[in-house]
Structure 1
């Protein structure tokens, strides 16, 4: 009887473990590297969050750039005046060096989670600026649902107070929900800071406030910005010049950008993702099921070349609203990949490749030039999970572009 039970247990274990796929993992996509880098950035970032007054002061100084890392369409529609642009999805060493050759350059960053919109400037506001000091209740405040889920935060007692640096919202009372309904603030600033730091750009400062878009000290430009908007703001500023002390005011941090949330989410995602890494063969099998292949690179990269059948949503445009529109059912099986899954020649990586067995070996000393593996798969997986899309499987192999098992399509693919 005892022998029979042992044999049965052995058979069950064999059956379970036979379902766990084994394959050679790509070391160009390392969650541990990303996690270690994120913790390093967390400590460095603490002293580099600035208020709008300091942000503007720095922007006017030499060897400083404002970097907008949102998608092309978002940047073209509206961005802080004078900002240069590189979609976070297009970050790599070469693109960053072309845009910002000097790594000591001071870089100022911001994202959508830094801004709220309440009241629009009007001629009346401009000529009677005292009216803009009035209190307003929650009904006057507009924050997109995709930025601030009501289940997580409740905005209370917000006053549009006149201060030396302009208009700011204060205070914001944070109301947490139970762990079962926990949601996360997934601001683009955080992966942007992590990636810049990882690529050697450590002189980064982040706008740390939640700022009213009507603040006269905040100028925008782009196709969606009315021609009169900046004119009105500049005239209002001329009537009420900001104090030179504005940069010294205490920072009122935006609760929509929270590194603690991001760290907690990373810790939760890491073991979950580990069980959802698949080989190329399994990836292809799953793609034939009721599944979506999601390409979250920039639209330019997607249009040029993507895995056949993939749909696109730029990582920088991930919000609850956009994801729900694209994938209405959060239980949908989602397959993901990024550029770090594909290479044109394994010799470039000084790796040994067995074409017959499709098996690769990765001698660690030969990967020195990839000490920072900043693969887009990792922040994308984190954000998908944080937005409630947990049925996600990630291509875990490093694959030759010429591999006959992969079919691509796009404007750059030879027909």
Structure 2
């Protein structure tokens, strides 16, 4: 149950790829695209995101298309982080963040999202300590903050009140915000508040780099198309890096993504896709509860964190922590693989105790899988836990 989709891709998506690469008679479709992004795609992205950001996005100066969100992260960090600059991360975090910071010579400074307790039943129960955050900002000159919303691996969707506090800090302490919002089309209907794009908040567009991903939007992670949206000044700086990393992104795939976005204006894809994932989420959540694990219902994304305190009998020995032992044990004994959340923490910067105290009793499961695969995983877990009883 690793973290990439194994669901069938919708027919209109594969038809769009066929239309872009095979039915397109222009020889230019197989040549370098405009470095900042294929014109048809940036126009489509502008049309899609302008209403969500409550402003008209200039497709030619406020968007750069990248090789997936990972390159968007890398190029953004390279553009703005110099050796010694401090970048604030919230643990647990997507592992590309610290890697990109360290490659630029930057210094990760960490705070943590923490559950109210390990018996929490919802991702909403994970909170950021704003008093602690203020202390960090008062004692460190922060150049940039990463905000992952919806959050991987927690599945938390930040409330508007939380985002406004971060925005106020961004103005007071003068730092940039990288808003990694790749899961924004997977915010579930039972969420207590609507999703708010950080750059849509007052005065935030000019200091925010919004990152998105086709892989998450359409379930095609192999296409590797992402983007940054920001002010012309910020995009120009990112583009200066981007032009010397990949130079440009695969032209026919960009064309296909543009066609996909155009088709979603009429085919209701995002609504039906959200409903599909919500059903898969509920199925895995109930399956995990049924076998005695304690899952936390995600508000967005396609991962579930579950408390594994009920898992016993495994050998302790992995220096990285209990969660590595448990995930290895479940893989070997049940044939069901989860990800140890300690992979999203870094003891080098925060000490090992918090990592073990929180992550050590959790595992990350993915529900971006077919119902048959989720059923089979449930059978394997049931068979194993029934033998243990």
TM category, shorter: under 0.3
Q: Which has the higher helix share?
A: 2
Provide TM-score, normalisation by structure 1: 0.25
Larger gyration radius, structure 1 or structure 2: 1
Provide TM-score, normalisation by structure 2: 0.27
